[in-house]
Structure 1
Amino acid sequence: LVSGLRHNFQEICAERLKEVGLSQGLVYFVLYVGAHEGCTQTEMNNALRVDVGYSTRSVSKLVEAGVIERAPNPADGRSNLLHLTQKGKEVSAFVEELVTEWDEEALSCLDPAEKSQLVDLLGRVVFSMGAQREYGN
């Protein structure tokens, strides 16, 4: 069931993201930087659990598209701090709206108590899976 929801979300994203010139794979980087302005790429890689090569290529595409900018890290000359540009902030707001619209549509068949219960249960599943990965179980 979760895979079916993910597939539906991917289809909608693939179509709607064309409006802002992004692929779905780049969205997570935009959302992360928007929520963690001034983060390093290493911090982002760890949080999103992506490898350095994939992240470097993705951030470079976003820099070229004018969505993200790199700034020297005054605390560590070997790294950069990531920030959204004005265009990036607009893209981030567009994506957040897209996610909210999809959530509302997907959950429209549930009453408020059922939505709350579903969010709680899914949160527990996500936490459980994250904890398993952290401890190698």
Structure 2
Amino acid sequence: MADRLHLDRFLPYLLSVTSNLVSDRIAQAYDALFGLSIPEWRLIALIAEHAPITQAQLGERSRMDKVTVSRAAIALTARGLLARAPNPDDRRSHHLALTEAGRALYAEVAPKAMEWERRIFGRFEAHELEQFTDMLRRIDAAAQEDH
């Protein structure tokens, strides 16, 4: 039967399983070392790069749903890591920025994140990583087209 599905060769499955494994390993480290969930870390990193930014913009950039972004933002604000300011362009939203404590946490976590990336991907050549990154972006674009 030529059309039979074999999960161990089905690329969407392999991509998902590998992605989950990498995310789970890193999530354990973020939680153990910094008390952060993956959504919370993603918000901190995105805000560090793009502040001021709204929750809606964070959702678009991270592709996390509104509820996940909202919960992470609430938790980070409660910990004193995020500050909210009125958005002069849209009174229904707020701009988010890292507080001094948030910037300090980012400065501590970012080098660790890059170290974890090196541990996982350091066994590959630079050109392989460039090709892989390019392929991921092309897969992303193709998945969006089919949506």
Unaligned runs of 5+ in 2: 1-13
Q: What is the CA RMSD across the aligned residues, in angstroms?
A: 2.2
TM-superposed CA distance for 1:45, in Å, is 0.5
Moved more, 1-10 or 51-60: 1-10
> Does 1:130 pair with 2:107?
no
TM-superposed CA distance for 1:6, in Å, is 5.4
| More RCO (CA 8 Å, sep 6+) | 1
Specify the code of the residue in structure 2 equivalent to 1:135. E
TM-superposed CA distance for 1:16, in Å, is 4.7
Q: TM-score, normalised by structure 2?
A: 0.77
Q: TM-score, normalised by structure 1?
A: 0.82
> Does 1:15 pair with 2:29?
yes
Q: Distance in 1 between matches of 2:121 and 2:67?
A: 36
**C-alpha offsets along residues 36-77 of structure 1, whole Å, 9 cap, x if unaligned?**
110111111011112111211111011001111111011211
Cα 1:57–1:9, aligned 2, differ >3 Å: closer, same or farther?
closer
Paired-residue identity, %: 23
Across the two proteins, how many residue pairs are aligned to each other?
133
Identify the match of residue 86 of structure 1 among 78, 100, 108: 100
Cα 1:93–1:47, aligned 2, differ >3 Å: closer, same or farther?
same
The answer (yes or no) to whether the contact 1:9–1:102 under 8 Å persists in 2 is no
Computing the radius of gyration over CA atoms, which structure comes out larger, 1 or 2?
2
For 1:39, what is the secondary structure of its paired residue?
A: coil
Runs of 4 or more consecutive aligned structure 1 residues displaced over 6 Å after TM superposition: none
